[in-house]
Amino acid sequence: MVDTLLLASAQKTIGYVIAVILLVAFVVAILVNIRRSRPEIGSEIELAPNRKPGMDDEELETKKLDRTLGLGLVALAAIALALPLYWLAEPGRQEGMVDRFEEIAINRGEELYVNGAQCAGCHGPLGIGGVASYTLTNPETGAYVDQVQWKAPALDTVMYRYTPDQVKYILNYGRGYSPMPAWGAPGGGPLTEQEIDEIIAYLVSIQLPAAESQAAVQKQLDISCAADAKGNCTVPGGKYATLGEAVFNLGYSDGFAGGAYSCGRCHTPGWSFGRAGKAGGGAMGPNLTGGSELKQFPLASQQESFVSAYPKAGTAYGTFGWSSGRMGSFGTNPNATDPKTAIMSPEQVMLTPAQIAAVVAYERSL
Ligand code: HEC
Ligand code: HEC
């Protein structure tokens, strides 16, 4: 934005300089004129014979008149054409300015992502996902327990699941229980609100095309499960029994997308650092075992809707649920609902309806 401000002020400066030059030239011209005319006073008689004779009426009213009128017409045409052309080009110019603004924000966001805040060190280049070293401590005594590698979820699909406001909240406050630090001033972090917005603009710019994301997920599920028509895995000696279990744990062993598409990273203790405890036993996200979800969502379809289109923070869900805004949507894109303001396409979703149905069935069996 500074460049644009500089540009604007450079334009202003040039304008002022031209105005001042014109004013000075005008004053000088008047002064010169007054001085020149001085000696002429009273010398009309001597001077008169030297003066050129004027045009006669014949010439004045034909050639001269035509020429002057012609020039006037040309000038008028130029103005009449130039003004509409100017106004026609104006919206385009303004739009170009908005694009340029957006471009500057993205470039600065990228600079912060790569160097300034080093998001890339944990989340990978272009947000493909990665890991972060983390020291586990005993929650009671604070004593050192172990050094672990904590999965940092891919951010090249973060706008598939969260709104810019939700991402802003995560960036402002971090995830205190994990290696993800607070970045924004509200959470005691080093970045300004504008910098956070620039990072978000950059994140929006690196979101994967829908087809690419879906193909990557499908390929991964083919390797870890290769589900048959009933949703049972067919990989010999495979880790998972059902498609739902494979989706729930997507990326657990191989780090695919830093676990971004999985549920286990929030709902299973120890999942993010490769020491998964009881599946769905509860971590940052609540415990889903022991039939709790059958109580929360009497119908599987209700649970599917919840997972697919996560309710806005502060709204009720299920029997006694209340959304905190932390989970995000997995089957619809929260940034694609209003076509006028949408920053994403409705196809850019984490999981297909079949994958969501499978993972919900798995959760209801825990
Ligand atoms: C020291 C490593 C580290 C750095 C640096 C870091 N993060 Fe993270 N971030 C993580 C980890 C680990 C998680 C996952 C935490 C969890 O398990 O809930 C995370 C989570 C997130 C999430 C939530 C994603 C989701 O789907 O749950 C977002 C968004 C995010 N980080 C963005 C950023 C941005 C932007 C930056 C740079 C300003 C950044 N992070 C810097 C480690 C890091
Ligand atoms: C970034 C962390 C995170 C991820 C990833 C996540 N969840 Fe959640 N989930 C939560 C949180 C937090 C809640 C509690 C509700 C709230 O705070 O809004 C929740 C609640 C739920 C609930 C309702 C639980 C109840 O009884 O109220 C279900 C069901 C659920 N998640 C399923 C899933 C599924 C399925 C996935 C994977 C497709 C998933 N979650 C991925 C954080 C997460």
Domain of 157, CATH number, reads 1.10.760.10
User: 194 lies in which domain range?
Assistant: 1-9+76-205
**CA 302 to centroid of ligand 2, rounded, Å:** 14
In a domain, 188, yes or no: yes
pLDDT at 1 (0 to 100): 46
Is 38's pLDDT higher than 90? Answer: no
Is residue 47 in a domain?
no
Q: Is position 31 within any domain?
A: no
Let me know whether 310 and 241 are in one domain: yes
CA of 158, closest atom in ligand 1: 26
Ligand 2 atom 13 nearest Cα:
285
Final residue before a domain boundary, out of 205, 225, 248:
205
Ligand at shortest distance from the CA of 287: 2
> By alpha-carbon position, which residue is closest to atom 16 of ligand 1?
178
Find, among 230, 53, 195, 37, the residue nearest to 115 by Cα: 195
Ligand 2 atom at minimum distance from 318 CA: 27
Same domain as 233, residue 156 = no
Domain end, chosen from 205, 232, 261, is at 205
Nearest CA to ligand 1 atom 24: 153
Give the residue, 333 or 100, on which the prediction is more confident: 333
* 56, 109, 128, 197, 340 from 120: Cα distances, Å: 85, 12, 9, 17, 32
Mean pLDDT of 274-278: 96
Ligand 1 centre from 147 Cα, in Å?
18
Is the pLDDT confidence value at 25 over 50? yes
Pocket of ligand 2 from Cβ distances under 6 Å:
263, 265-267, 284-286, 288, 292-293, 296, 303, 306-307, 318, 321, 323-324, 326-327, 330, 359, 363
Give me the residue label for tokens 């471009």: 103
Give the chain's mean pLDDT. 92
From atom 2 of ligand 1, which residue's Cα is the shortest distance away?
Answer: 122
Q: How confident is the model at residue 48 (pLDDT cuts 50, 70, 90)?
A: low
Mutate to test the pocket of ligand 1, among 180, 310, 324 (most ligand atoms within 8 A of CB): 180
39-66 residues labelled b (16+ CB within 10 A) or e (exposed)? eeeeeeeeeeeeeeeeeeeeeeeeeeee
Indicate whether 21 pLDDT > 70.
yes
| 233 and 141 together in one domain | no
Based on the domain organization, do 218 and 201 belong to the same domain? no
Atom 28, ligand 2: residue with shortest CA distance: 307
160 and 257 both lie in a single domain:
no
Q: Which pLDDT band, with edges at 50, 70 and 90, does 45 fall under?
A: low
Ligand nearest to the CA of 266: 2
Please identify which residue in the block is written with the tokens 């657990």: 252
pLDDT exceeds cutoff 60 at 337: yes
Mean predicted confidence (pLDDT) in 43-54: 66
Ligand nearest to the CA of 307: 2
Do 119 and 3 lie in one domain? The reply is: yes
347 pLDDT above the threshold of 90: yes
Which of 110, 112, 114, 122 best tests ligand 1's pocket when mutated (most atoms within 8 Å of CB)? 122
User: Is pLDDT above 70 for 2?
Assistant: no
Surface-to-core class of residue 322, CB atoms within 10 Å of its CB (0-12 exposed, 13-18 middle, 19+ buried) = exposed
| Domain assignment of residue 64, yes or no | no
The answer to whether residues 289 and 316 belong to one domain is yes
One domain, residues 322 and 258: yes
Per the confidence metrics, is the pTM higher than 0.75? yes
pLDDT band at 5 (very low <50, low <70, confident <90, very high): low
pLDDT at 296 over 90: yes
What is the pLDDT, as a whole number, of residue 59? 82
- How many domains are contained in the chain? 2
| More confident position, 45 or 177 | 177
Query: Is there a single domain that holds both residue 230 and residue 182?
Result: no
- pLDDT for the residue 55: 80
Ligand 2 atom closest to the Cα of residue 325 is 18
Last residue of a domain, one of 169, 188, 205: 205
Is residue 195 located within the same domain as residue 217?
no
243 CA distance to ligand 2 middle (Å): 18
Note whether residue 138 is domain-resident.
Answer: yes
Please check whether residue 44 lies inside any domain of the structure.
no
Q: Kindly report, residue by residue over 200-211, the tens digit of the pLDDT.
A: 999 999 999 999
Find residue 51's DSSP bridge partners. none
Whether 217 and 354 map to the same domain: the answer is: yes
Calculate how far, in angstroms, residue 180's C-alpha sits from the geometric centre of ligand 1.
Answer: 5
Q: Does residue 6 have a pLDDT over 60? A: no
- Please check whether residues 244 and 108 belong to one and the same domain: no
Mean pLDDT across the stretch 157-182? 96
| 273 Cα: distance to centroid of ligand 1 (angstroms) | 14
Across 130-157, average pLDDT = 95
Cα separation of the two ends of the chain: 52
Q: Is the pLDDT of residue 312 over 70?
A: yes
Q: Of 265 and 54, which is predicted with more confidence?
A: 265
CA of 121 to the centre of ligand 1 (A): 10
Q: For residue 61, what pLDDT is reported? A: 85
Residue 62 covered by a domain: no
Q: Is residue 114 part of a domain?
A: yes
Side-chain half-sphere of 330: how many Cα atoms within 13 Å? 24
Closest CA to ligand 1's atom 42: 180
Mean pLDDT across the stretch 304-332?
96
